[in-house]
Amino acid sequence: MENVTNELGTGFITELDRYLYNNGRHYEIYEKLGAHPKTYNGKQGVYFAVWAPHASQVGVVGDFNGWNPDLNPMVPLADSGIWEVFVPGVALGQLYKYSLTTPSGKILFKADPYAFHAEFRPQTASVTADLSVYTWNDHAWVKKRENQDMLSEPLSIYEVHLGSWKRKNREEKEGYYTYKEAACELAEYVKNMGYTHIELMGIAEHPYDGSWGYQVTGYYAPTSRYGTPDEFMYFVDYMHQHGIGVILDWVPAHFPKDAHGLSEFDGEACYEYADPRKGEHPDWGTKVFDYSKYEVDNFLIANALYWVEKYHIDGLRVDAVASMLYLDYGRSSGEWVKNPHGGNENLEVIEFFKHLNSVIKERGKGAVVIAEESTAWPKVTDQPENSGLGFTFKWNMGWMHDFLEYMKLDPYFRKYNHHKMTFGLTYFTCENYILVLSHDEVVHLKGSMINKMPGLLEDKFSNLKLGYTFMIGHPGKKLLFMGQDFGQFHEWDEKDSLEWYLAKEPLGEDLNNYVRDLLHLYRKFPALYNNDYIWEGFSWINANDNERSIFSFIRHGKGVRNSLLFVLNFTPVKRPDFRVGVPKPGKYTLVLDTTHGLYQEKESGVDFKSEKTPWDDQDYSIAYPLPAFGAAIFRF
């Protein structure tokens, strides 16, 4: 093979670049580090740069030089830990890695931490790519997003794992849909159902399917399982053009120990804490990022901005936030290090989140950042200037746990657990919550949503419709994992497609249509979303009817006429003489029930006139025949 010579001292990375990066403030560092097609001294090729502060020697190897570490050595840039080289003749789509010689003389071969593309697993090389080619067509969407306050907008999220949403019967790439193929079918389904956003699991490149994408080796590379970077740009663009937002799961908490990844990148602790009491997750067998290093913080914060700015992503759902905040997370006594004040809070992570969320708020053009935080850590969604972490939303894990525990009960025992459904209404204003029924709740022998429900088959479906109605009425944005909106029986398995045939079975189709009706109702009535986080948005009619397991409440809108009255019966006992108190005289129009779904405006026979009969501490009331496992929503 022809020997490929280097061009050194390029000046592509300036002294200012190095200063900003080494101080954690270079928010476009991915434009400098990594592999970038360039023309230098009249020659076309690729410029490579990598941060490897402990290495004694670094080279770039690939299919362009026979993977020979001696042919394209890199040179260090003074006092920065960065190495660079320009290699003429390297084209787009070529494979490469870095060869790093450790202080002990061992040579490591590592994928590029800033690579834009990667080989299809199980191969592990990085792939040269150019992100400047794709032409975007979602300008109207991005402009609209920039001017929206998502706290006051409807947000109903469809959580999706692309590799198992649908698969095709073909040999190529194990039957995965490509980004382009998935875009068309997924957008059609999501738009028809009425979801406002999708949340994608496992998009950043990862080596092991069973990690679901939560053990990342390529933070800047959309996984090649489904196609190229340009094809993922097309996917996001297509969603936006069809009115659908795209949220990505993002994992700044930890990374795997795979030999080609970030672990001991240059032979020593580089991206991770050196002390294993801080630098390893004993439960997960992974490494923990060292948030005390400016270069590591810069890697992650620039990565968050990269997805928002380069791929037009509408939000990031930050995984495993609690594991980052607590130094003793998953660790026993003696296995963790206290902070300088003697506590278990990771002070470096607190500052990292404040920095991250401030930058996204400043530059993200309306993009949101969502915390999967499973404890009672205060002020997760408050602003940094108020001692908050600055997230836009927080997953409401407490609500999810209480809701599922209640829904799984035999209806006879629900009267003894009434508080599980009312407790969430005592703290819903504490954070900007999203109510979640996520993938974590339908794996590992937890059972699918339909199989959590008690009773015979029809009762299971009735219970699930009732539970979803309560979820729509409860303050907070919404998230539902794929397959649970048509009653998937099997637990989710990343290796298999969803059981789509069940959506055509009578009970599955009825549930699917009902969830669609709920989602369209949710988007139609601002009372269900524009007052989510203030007390004025919700009031009980009767929170204490535990003997009959009936809940009745009102959602109040901000600056709108229509409020909504919810009545929900969580037992199989019909209440033909049911009466519910109402706050004012007038007409109460039934807009949805579990028997008929969503009523259309022109349908008759669904108006109920209030009576001057005091009930539930209200001056007026209406009588409504409440079915077994029945729910009804009235507008007034």
Residue 566 tokens read as 């919810």
Residue 520 tokens read as 């369209």
pLDDT at 604: 54
pLDDT at 2 over 80: no
pLDDT at 11: 84
Q: Does 318 lie in the same domain as 211?
A: yes
Q: What is the mean pLDDT of the chain?
A: 95
Q: Mean pLDDT throughout 154-164?
A: 98
Percent of the chain with pLDDT over 70: 98
Residue 121 CA to residue 347 CA, distance in Å, equals 37
Pair 448, 613: CB distance under 8 Å: no
Q: Mean pLDDT throughout 522-550?
A: 97
Q: Does 213 lie in the same domain as 106?
A: no
End-of-domain residue from the set 393, 412, 437 = 393
What DSSP string runs through 487-512?
Answer: T--SPP-TTS---GGGGGSHHHHHHH
Could you list the residue range(s) of the whole structural domain that residue 223 is in? 161-393
Q: Does 167 lie in the same domain as 103?
A: no
Q: Does 168 lie in the same domain as 99?
A: no
Q: Mean pLDDT throughout 91-102?
A: 98
pLDDT digits (tens, 9 = 90+) for 432-470: 999 999 999 999 999 999 999 999 999 999 999 999 999
Residue 297 CA to residue 299 CA, distance in Å, equals 5
Q: Does 263 lie in the same domain as 186?
A: yes
Q: Does 178 lie in the same domain as 62?
A: no
Helix H, strand E, coil C: the string for 209-244 is: HHHCCCCCCEEEEECCCCCCHHHHHHHHHHHHHCCC
Q: Mean pLDDT throughout 49-71?
A: 97
Q: Strand 550-555 and strand 564-569: pairing?
A: antiparallel
Q: Report the DSSP beta bridge partners of residue 516.
A: none
Q: Looking at the 3D structure of the chain, how many domains does it have?
A: 3
pLDDT at 78: 87
Q: Is 319 a catalytic residue?
A: yes
pLDDT band at 9 (very low <50, low <70, confident <90, very high): low
Residue closest to 242 by CA, chosen among 364, 132, 140: 140
Q: Does 231 lie in the same domain as 322?
A: yes
Q: Would you say residue 405 lies in a domain? A: no
pLDDT at 543 over 90: yes
pLDDT digits (tens, 9 = 90+) for 373-412: 999 999 999 999 999 999 999 999 999 999 999 999 999 9
Identify the CATH number of the domain in which residue 87 sits.
2.60.40.10
Q: Would you say residue 576 lies in a domain? A: yes
- Length of the chain equals 636
Q: Would you say residue 510 lies in a domain? A: no
User: How many Å separate Cα 189 from the centre of its chain?
Assistant: 19
- Give the C-alpha distances (Å, rounded to integers) separating 573 from 19, 251, 596: 70, 46, 19
Q: Would you say residue 320 lies in a domain? A: yes
The pTM for the full model equals: 0.95
Pair 200, 162: CB distance under 8 Å: yes
pLDDT at 174: 87
- For 514-530, letters b (16+ CB in 10 Å) and e give bbbbbbbbbbebbbbbb
pLDDT band at 184 (very low <50, low <70, confident <90, very high): very high
Identify the CATH number of the domain in which residue 256 sits.
3.20.20.80
Pair 321, 349: CB distance under 8 Å: no
Q: Would you say residue 149 lies in a domain? A: no
Q: Report the DSSP beta bridge partners of residue 98.
A: 60, 110
Q: Does 251 lie in the same domain as 383?
A: yes
Q: Does 75 lie in the same domain as 19?
A: yes
Q: Does 165 lie in the same domain as 119?
A: no
Radius of gyration of the chain (CA): 27
Residue 519 CA to residue 502 CA, distance in Å, equals 20
Q: Which of 372, 441, 532, 593 is catalytic?
A: 372
Degrees (nearest 5) of the Cα angle 439, 303, 442?
A: 5
End-of-domain residue from the set 359, 393, 427 = 393
Identify the CATH number of the domain in which residue 627 sits.
2.60.40.1180
pLDDT at 601: 63
Pair 434, 394: CB distance under 8 Å: yes
pLDDT digits (tens, 9 = 90+) for 301-335: 999 999 999 999 999 999 999 999 999 999 999 89
End-of-domain residue from the set 351, 366, 393 = 393
Q: Would you say residue 558 lies in a domain? A: yes
Q: Does 334 lie in the same domain as 186?
A: yes
Q: Mean pLDDT throughout 222-243?
A: 98
Q: Does 177 lie in the same domain as 318?
A: yes
pLDDT at 6 over 50: no
CA atoms within 13 Å, Cβ hemisphere of 134: 20
Residue 386 tokens read as 């108020």
- For 480-504, letters b (16+ CB in 10 Å) and e give bbbbbbbbbeeebebeebbbeebbe
pLDDT at 173: 78
Omega of the bond prior to 122 within 30 degrees of 0, cis? yes
Q: Would you say residue 460 lies in a domain? A: no
pLDDT band at 1 (very low <50, low <70, confident <90, very high): very low
Q: Give the max Cα distance, the chain.
A: 94
Q: Which of 159, 237, 266, 319 is catalytic?
A: 319
pLDDT at 5: 45
Q: Is 458 a catalytic residue?
A: no
Q: Would you say residue 102 lies in a domain? A: yes
